Amino acid sequence: MDNKAKIICVTGGKGGTGKTLCAVNIAVMFKDAGHNVLLIDGDVENPNTFLLLGGELENPKEVPFFKPKIIKAKCSKCGLCAENCATHALLHVKDQYPIPILSVCSGCQLCYKICPEEAIEPDFQPIGWTYYTSVGGIDLLLGELKPSEMRSVAVVEALLEQMEEIMEKEPDKYDRIVLDTAPGAHCDVEALIDKADIVIPVTEPTKFGKLDLLRIIELIQLLKKDYKAIVNRSSLLGFREQFLEELKEANIEILGDIPLDDNIVQSYCQGVPIMAKNSEYKDAEGYKAFQQIFINLKKWLDSLGGN
């Protein structure tokens, strides 16, 4: 029997569809069902999960990123580093020391590795931070990219490294890991989908929603992952039935749909997940929709085998 933690990735492509809403409430529902849950916020440009859990972030851990430093005393000005830099991040003019253009440096460390005089030293600069904390009773591992930095995926990779470390050192600590991704289909999103056992793209019943859903499904299929969609705000403008029919015709399986519900918005603004144990919204349509989604999710996980 496979005792490894089940990893559920919530994504969607389109921004603002309700990924964080779904990821947080799914994590809460698993916790209340007796599971040991880790929620990973991989939307490192705008990590918001902690807000929806009504908490604060503490103990930032810097994510270091390699930048080259030229040691002039050792440098022979041969230019080998600049010649081989794929992003032209080292500018070399004959008889001069190479000049790092740090804004385009990809951190690959090739220059450091090939310098025949060992004249390049790593100068690690923080590109962002990770936080490993407990908020609202849920263990949260969250990443934050330093504004103006380019490589979000570097912070996501730091999160995934931390996750792997925890899974290796304390394999029984968690049995459900929920990943929340950024919008889009960039490599930071890909890195998270790739780690998942199942993927839940969240969409909305509009043309934009459908198109972006098809795009993210392309990425999910490229990574050969099993997926079922959630249609959020499904009662929007009366398009629900038509939209669900369109998805059915496109062979896209639905995990569930969530109608427009002011109660969801209220709890969201309060910073309390609607599915929290003592929720005051137990009669709300949105609450019942999430309950049904959870039932379907449990069935889906059971069908995959393992615990």
Partner 1 sequence: MKIVIAIPSMKEGGLEDIVNPNFGRCKNFTFVELKEGEIDSVKVVQNEAMNAMGGAGIQAGGIIGNNNATAAIIGSIGPNAVESLNALNIETYQAPEKQITIKEAVNLFKKNALKKISSANVGSHYGLGGQG
Using the minimum distance from each CB to partner 1, give the nearer residue, 33 or 104: 104
With CB under 8 A as the rule, give the number of residues binding partner 1. 13
Cα gap 193→181, rounded to integer Å? 8
> Which stretch, 68-76, 83-91, 238-246, 261-269, contacts partner 1 (CB under 8 A)?
83-91
Residues 99, 211, 265, 304: which binds partner 1 (CB under 8 A)?
99
Using the minimum distance from each CB to partner 1, give the nearer residue, 90 or 141: 90
Residues 93, 114, 265, 304: which binds partner 1 (CB under 8 A)?
93
Residues 33, 71, 104, 211: which binds partner 1 (CB under 8 A)?
104
Cα gap 130→71, rounded to integer Å? 31
Residues 96, 134, 242, 270: which binds partner 1 (CB under 8 A)?
96
Query: Is residue 69 a contact point for partner 1 (CB under 8 A)?
Result: no
What number of residues does the chain have? 307
Using the minimum distance from each CB to partner 1, give the nearer residue, 101 or 250: 101
Least distance (Å) from partner 1 to the CB of residue 157? 22
Query: Is residue 108 a contact point for partner 1 (CB under 8 A)?
Result: no
Is residue 305 within 8 A of residue 2, CB to CB? The reply is yes
Listing DSSP states for 273-302 in one string gives -TT-TT-TTTTSHHHHHHHHHHHHHHHHHH
Which residues on adjacent β-strands are paired with residue 179?
9, 40
Using the minimum distance from each CB to partner 1, give the nearer residue, 76 or 96: 96
Helix axes 285-303, 262-270, angle to 10 degrees: 80
Using the minimum distance from each CB to partner 1, give the nearer residue, 92 or 210: 92
Residue located via tokens 């069908």: 303
Contacts of 44 (CB under 8 A, 6+ apart): 128, 143, 144, 145, 152, 155, 156, 159, 182, 188
Residues near partner 1 (CB under 8 A): 82, 87-89, 91-94, 96, 99, 101, 103-104
